[in-house]
A and B are shown apart, each in its own frame.
Chain A
Amino acid sequence: MIDFINFISNLAMPLIILIIVVYGFLEKKEVFDKFVEGAKDGIKIVINIFPTLIGLFLAVGVLRSSGVIDIAIKLIDPILNFVNFPSEIIPLAILRPISGSSSIAIATDIMKNFGVDSQIGIMAAVIMGATETTLYTIAVYSASVKIKKTRFALIAALTADIVGIIVSVAVCRFLS
């Protein structure tokens, strides 16, 4: 079972690339020119978030090394133990819906501290992949049409996030 899951995970990216390249080739498109053109956009995306990442990695780094994160975790630990949720993940679970770049910083910090291939490290990665910056998205989308009354958008989106996080933790426990 686990072998099969790993196989699917490892197959996904090569298979998608293969399908796209074959499609483009058969349709006689300038596949390589298009590839290079698109790759240029990738540079812009990464360069644009670099300054933000520097700032947020610093904030999360000092939060950890000063011992503040440890205290925060110790405070909520008893409650989390009660529901059997890994407390190391909590800073990520809290920041994830609020800010995309700070959650990248905190997830990287968790993976580095507990090991990128450890259970906690994998949980952090799966949570990052499976959820979005909910509050930010709701704010941007509502503001674009000048609406302040968002009705049940927040409840629906946050419920989805919570389920996403719980399932991420459960799947990782199942796999290891």
Chain B
Amino acid sequence: MLNLVWPIFIIISFSYAILTGNLANLNTSIFESVESAVNLTITMLGTMCLWSGIINVAVNTNIMKLINKLLKPIIRFLFPEIKENRKAQDEISMNMIANILGLGNAATPLGLKAMETLQKENKNKKQLSNSMIMLIVLNTASIQLIPTTIIAIRTSLESENPTSIIFPVWVATICAGITGITVTKLLIKHANKKERL
């Protein structure tokens, strides 16, 4: 994807700047961009290490079991087709916990494991099952407790209050998540009806 987008961005911008004689601006921005990437990375290094450390403490306590218990009824509601499949339920639960805690790197492998388990139960191996779509939609909904990356960006730009966006983010995520779940549920119903006809 980026192999296509990146060169296009560069070609359009450089040609346009050269044609319009906007070279001074272009030159400044080349070095400024690289510098701000460095600044962001340094700030992010602090925030990410702090958060990864705290989460690693949590992973080693019983908090995980507690969240797992809280998630079970939600998972049963979202994935009615895998009521009997304990393994799939546990994997989905772990994937959701990783997402909530902002462990993007851990969430993906856990989610892919759940996909594999769901594929075993999938009646038509060539298309996504209802449960698989629900799992994907949950993963695209970005349900997370603390949006660490964005706080790091705001810190590196010297915001007066970098964490002030947390509550607005929650509101927006929850609305997006509920929409995703509702749309998926409705489309599943629609698909089931079609199948019966």
Contacts and interface: CB of A to CB of B under 8 A. Distances in A.
B157 interface: yes
A16 B146 contact: yes
Nearest to A175: B168
Interface in A34-48: 34-43, 45-46
Interface residues of A, number: 99
A176 to B, nearest CB: 10
Contacts of B57: 20-21, 24, 29, 31, 34-35, 38
Contacts of A62: 9-10, 13-14, 17, 26, 29-30, 33
Nearest to B17: A66
A158 B125 CA distance: 24
B11 to A, nearest CB: 10
Interface string A119-147: 00010011111111110111011101101
Chain B binding surface SS class: helix
Interface of B: 1-2, 5-6, 9-10, 12-14, 16-17, 20, 22, 25-26, 28-30, 32-34, 36-38, 40-41, 44-45, 48-63, 105, 108, 111-112, 115-116, 118-119, 122, 125-128, 132-133, 135-137, 139-142, 144-147, 149-151, 153-154, 157-161, 163-169, 171-173, 175-177, 179-180, 183-184, 187, 191
Interface of A: 5-6, 8-10, 12-13, 16-17, 19-21, 23-24, 27, 29, 31, 34-43, 45-46, 49-50, 53-68, 98-99, 101-102, 104-105, 107-108, 111-112, 116-117, 122, 125-134, 136-138, 140-142, 144-145, 147-153, 155-157, 159-161, 163-165, 167-168, 171-172, 175
14 contacts: A12-B166, A23-B58, A23-B62, A31-B57, A38-B53, A39-B56, A59-B9, A66-B20, A116-B157, A133-B140, A151-B128, A153-B133, A160-B141, A163-B179
7 closest residue pairs by CB, A with B: A38-B56, A61-B33, A164-B176, A160-B180, A129-B147, A65-B29, A42-B49
